Structure 1
Amino acid sequence: MGIFDFFKNQFIEVIEWTDNTSDTLVYRFPVANNEIKMGASLIVRESQMAVFVNEGEVADIFGPGHHELYTRNIPILTKLKSWPQGFNSPFKAEVYFVNTKQFVNQKWGTSNPIMMRDAEFGMIRLRGYGVYSYRVSDPGVFLKELFGTNETYTTDNIESHLKKMIISGLSDLFAESKIPALDLASHYDELSELGKQKMEPHFKAFGFAITSLYIENLSLPAEVEKAMDTRTSMGVIGNMGQFQQYQAGQALREAAQNESGGLAGAGAGLGAGAALGGMMTGAMQNNVQQHQAQTMACPNCSAQMPVGAKFCPECGKSPQPATKSCVSCQATIPATTKFCPECGTNQEQKKCPKCQHVNAPTAKFCADCGETLA
């Protein structure tokens, strides 16, 4: 190989990068000991951007497409090098290919529980996990703030920091939302969208754009979940007194079916009798209480009368006091009330029969339409 071939091999004529990985954010084109020939081809594929760096300073940035490198096409680098117009000699510069595709299915999760205050359960510990996606939106900011001059930069280099930012932001979001622990599962979509909006400025500071954030699960401590299960069971049972009577009846039936004799049988019989007596006593007390709850004293003659009756069977008077509607808010109030307990309006005010405007008690004409008032 002659001296001409040696120098020819030192000139790079095609600059491109074919990404065969799934996690590379930045790749530095190997131009060490090589010079880029003026007129060389720069091939930037979709989801890529090429950044020229001169002596540690970001010079020119190229988007997707085919570019021929001349002084007129790299104005910043030309200015930094102070090349004369039209000077076509080779030049040296570091070339970085930045991957701008979305990096999806990036996982986040709480390594330690999030402490938050719940109105129903008090202080609780909350754990959660989910996924997020992001991409490089500003290669210049990304290179200045994070990448530096490494040969490659992958998602593993920044993953831990991004996770900590997300968990910190979501912890603050959960505390501010004041959503009850029982209702968190029904607000995953809303919390995910609010979390994405909250993280956008933090990602932008590093040249990133967060494209999605999803909450997959929020879990409570085992003791809180057990309390929730107990409350659900009580809701399914309904009337606790009837449930206890049912359990006592089942116990009596099992005792009656016990075929063991002797003292044990006698003890079972005595226990069953005591349980039956207690159950009957409780049932009678419940009936008396229910009967008492279904009657009320007449406010006029104090005689007992059914709840909801319109007239007393003894004195024939209505137990309900006379009512009227508030002149302002139309709430139902006692007829003798001077001021509405709902809105505080003076009930002696006069309402115009034509425009319904409320006037002062002494007004003779409507202040709104001039109608004569009674």
Structure 2
Amino acid sequence: MAWFEREFIAVPPSHKNQLVHKWPDVNIRRFSRVIVDAGEIALFVHTGQVAAVMTPGRHQVDATELPGLGALLDKLSGGNAYRAELYFVGTKEFPGNKFGGRLDDILDPRSEQIVTLRVFGEYALAVRDPAALITGLTGTVDLTDPGSVISWCSDLLLRSMRITVAAGTTGGRWPILGLAAYLPEIDTEVLSATNQQLRRYGLLITRLGNFDINLAPEDTDRLKRLAKDVRYIQLAGGFQPYAAGELALGAGQGMALGGGSAVAGGFLGAGLGLSAAGQQLGTAPPASGPPPGHAPARGAAGSNGPLAAEDAGQVECAQCQVGIPAGSSFCTGCGRRLAARLCTGCGATLGPGARFCGACGSPADT
């Protein structure tokens, strides 16, 4: 057979960087030449079993050179073809494979807050046993799809990452905040767990690169605020001094921005709220006034006696003893009409509740 009549089989240039490339024809002409480049291995597979393996170089498709092909001779072709699947498997390292997504909702043991962890990164993949790869993944993933094996490995890696990180954080070995300091430990444990499962398929993740475990943005802000508040409460000696300090800072910032009276009013209201909270906790100072069970002295400040009413420009109603403004026609306590009285000494009009005449000093007629 002339040289130019021979068929050459090789990986197309556009598929050189694929992990697995399957030759589309299952009828391989006898005496064809298979070209296996460096970093590749070719395998003839029949009914899930590897019939022949070809290392880098040129190989003639014939049972004399590849003894395993003897049982694959297609009789319908008159002995001119072998019926088998031909796979080219890359043996070099394949870096830059993406993986990532949501890990889990984790309870942070330090803050007792539930947060969502995520991971994003890359990894490098290599084939250690091409025969195990082809026979192990046949029927599991579509080997004719260039990205199917990579996608399957990415999902497996994410699953191992989820289990490892969840166990480490909930167990208290790794804190949620500052998790980046423990990435080397996470790297080692995740690779070990993942490669234990990949080994049976002839695959190996050689390294992780540029991966990061982080929180959802809202969870990051929440934990930072909580950590700050807890630390400041400890430094202030309790919640009430810390809250009062926060109110003072807020009021000062608001007034500096032109908040003036509105901020001052809000600060006063918040202060009253703290006072009420302090009373509930038993920490507020006692209110001024006489001791419980003691009535105030008549005429003393804060009492309702006649002297206090007169000092305030008021008089006492003769019926209900409520202090009312001088010159009123009716009592504000009982509604009684206050009739005008005349002094028996000089005839001048006396104000409601007056005991002496303001004109002559004569005692009023009560």
Q: Structure 1 length normalisation: TM-score?
A: 0.53
Q: Partner residue of 2:42?
A: 50
1:343 corresponds to: none
- 8 Å CA contact 2:99–2:120 kept in 1: the answer is yes
C-alpha change, 1:215 and 1:187, in structure 2 (3 Å) is: farther
For 2:49 and 2:109, the matched residues in 1 are separated by: 54
1:120 aligns with 2:110: yes
Structure 2 match to 1:314: none
**Residues 132 and 214 in structure 1, CA contact (< 8 A), matched pair in contact too:** yes
AA in 2 matched with 1:198: A
The question of 1:64 aligning with 2:56 is answered yes
Task: Measure, in 2, the Cα distance between the counterparts of 1:58 and 1:172.
Answer: 35
Q: Percent identity?
A: 22
Contact residue 188 and residue 215 of structure 1 kept, 8 A: no
CA deviation after TM superposition for structure 1 residue 199, in Å? 0.3
Per-residue deviation, 1:206? 2.6
8 Å CA contact 1:196–1:212 kept in 2: the answer is yes
Partner of 1:27: 21
| Contact kept in structure 2, 1:131 and 1:215, CA below 8 Å | yes
Asked whether the 8 Å contact 2:19–2:94 carries over to 1, the reply is no
* 1:76 alignment partner in structure 2: 68
Cα drift, residue 50 of structure 1: 0.8
Which residue of structure 2 lines up, in the alignment, with residue 141 of structure 1? 132
1:355 matched residue in structure 2: none
Which residue in 1 is equivalent to 2:330?
A: none
How many residues are aligned here?
250
Match of 2:82 among 89, 92, 98: 92
2-structure distance, mates of 1:121, 1:249:
25
Separation in 2 of the partners of 1:69 and 1:124? 59
**Who is 2:296 aligned against?**
none
Deviation at 1:51, TM superposition (A): 0.7
Instruction: State yes or no: 1:207 paired with 2:197.
Output: no
Greater Rg over alpha carbons, structure: 2
Stretches of structure 2 that go unaligned for 5 or more consecutive residues are 276-366
For residues 170 and 26 of structure 1, what CA distance do their matches in structure 2 show? 25
Task: Tell me how large the CA RMSD over aligned residues is.
Answer: 4.5
- What is the distance in 2 between the residues matched to 1:106 and 1:91? 38
What is the deviation of 1:32?
A: 5.6
Q: Secondary structure at the match of 1:153?
A: coil
Are 1:131 and 1:214, in contact at CA under 8 Å, matched by a contact in 2?
yes
CA, structure 1 residues 204+153, in 2 after alignment: closer, same or farther (shift >3 Å)? Answer: farther
Question: 8 Å contact 2:103–2:162 — kept in the other structure?
Answer: no
Asked if structure 2 preserves the Cα contact closer than 8 Å seen for 1:116 and 1:126, the reply is yes
Determine the C-alpha separation between the residues in 2 that align with 1:254 and 1:227. 23
TM-score under structure 2 length normalisation: 0.54
Asked if the contact 2:41–2:90 (Cα under 8 Å) also holds between the matched residues in 1, the reply is yes
Are the equivalent residues in 1 in contact too, given 2:28–2:81 (CA < 8 A)? no
1:132 aligns to 2:113 (yes or no): no
Q: Which amino acid letter does the alignment assign opposite residue 211 of structure 2?
A: E
Name structure 1 gaps, 5 residues minimum.
83-88, 279-374
Question: Where in structure 2 are the equivalents of 1:150-161 lying within 5 Å?
Answer: 153-161=144-152
